[in-house]
Amino acid sequence: MPNQQSVFLIAEIGQAHDGSLGILHSYIDALAETGIDAIKFQTHIAEAESSSAEPFRVNFSFEDATRYDYWQRMSFTKEQWIGIKEHCEEVGLEFMSSPFSQAAVDLLEEIGVTRYKIGSGEVNNFLMLEKIAKTGKPIILSSGMSSFTEIEEAVDFLTPFGNDLTILQCTTSYPTPPERVGLNVIGELKQRFPTLKIGLSEHTAKIYTGIAAVALGAEVLEFHAVFDRRMFGPDAKSSLEIDEIKQLAEGVRFIEKSLQNPIDKSDNSEYTGLKKIFEKTLAVNKDLPEGHILTFNDLEAKKPAKMGIAAAEFRNVIGKKLKEGKNKWDFLKSSDI
């Protein structure tokens, strides 16, 4: 288990490996250098979750006749999954994988996952949710295809089991345009579920989406990862590339530290020295004779402060008579008027 910071960062590989175990392990090594907390996969067991009737969401494949065939090609053996988990742990990342069937939950339990992430299409799959809830492990629910009512139903269903629950705002759109991200939902979820952790699962392929979510209070952030958005696969165009993920992680940690250290604007004592340098004193902007009645147009504000009357007090000198003449750019003192 990695040293989890307050915002939990999950890089989703999904099917970016395209069924290649070698490419998958390459992703683990690359993501280990980015500053994330966990790397997430998807555990597909074709015969348990799919059928020949399942249509392609995106008809992208040149080698799979059906979606069922694709899921078969995306699967790995138990031994391979164990090796994947070990590799994640060796590089300091938590291994995560979303199940899509009862059989996948059984497999992940044998492998030994720490927590479960539920994909948007499984939020109303109470059959699988009950099996997962009975493990007692934390559960992260992605709400991409769910209304507030459906989310509440899932939470009500899971609450009696006592699992640690997290809800992620998500938009099931690949890639997601800015007008559909729904950053406002983060705050709404916090109001509706004040005792739960709230986060964002996003597919914008932009780093600022996650940074904005953290600034709005997201505690968990999930995003897809890919080596290059021009690669083959259903999620490539909606993913972040490795260098972008590193930038995102740095940005999140920066914003996170900012939020964890609130500033007291009622106390500015630390700026006493700087205020004397940068703030200003009233001066006259022309030669003025003794007895001159000061007007707004006679005045300028010049650095440093505390050389006479403060610039903020200019109204108090307008209409006052000079006791003696002043040279252009002389500071004004109380004794002068």
| Domain range annotation of the chain | 8-260, 269-336
Amino acid 50: pLDDT: 82
Beta-carbon count within 10 A of 213 CB:
26
Listed in sequence order, the DSSP H helices in the chain are: 21-31, 46-49, 67-73, 78-90, 102-111, 126-133, 148-158, 184-192, 207-215, 242-260, 272-278
DSSP conformation letters of 259-310: HHS---TT--GGGHHHHHHHS-EEEESS-B-TTPBP-GGGEEEESSSSSSSB
The stretches in the chain having pLDDT less than 70 are: 1-5, 55, 57-61
Amino acid 47: pLDDT: 85
| Residues linked to residue 301 through DSSP beta bridges, in sequence order | 282
Amino acid 1: pLDDT: 36
CATH homologous superfamily of 8-260 equals Aldolase class I (3.20.20.70)
Please determine whether the domains at 8-260 and 269-336 fall in the same fold group of CATH. no
CATH class of 269-336: alpha beta
For helices 126-133 and 148-158, angle between their N-to-C axes, nearest 10 degrees: 40
Task: List, for residues 33-87, the tens digit of each pLDDT value.
Answer: 999 999 999 999 888 988 777 767 666 667 877 888 888 888 999 999 999 999 9
Amino acid 29: pLDDT: 98
Amino acid identity for residue 31 in this structure: L
Amino acid 331: pLDDT: 98
Amino acid 4: pLDDT: 46
Amino acid 57: pLDDT: 66
Amino acid 241: pLDDT: 98
Beta-carbon count within 10 A of 176 CB:
20
pTM of the model: 0.87
| Residues linked to residue 281 through DSSP beta bridges, in sequence order | 302, 310
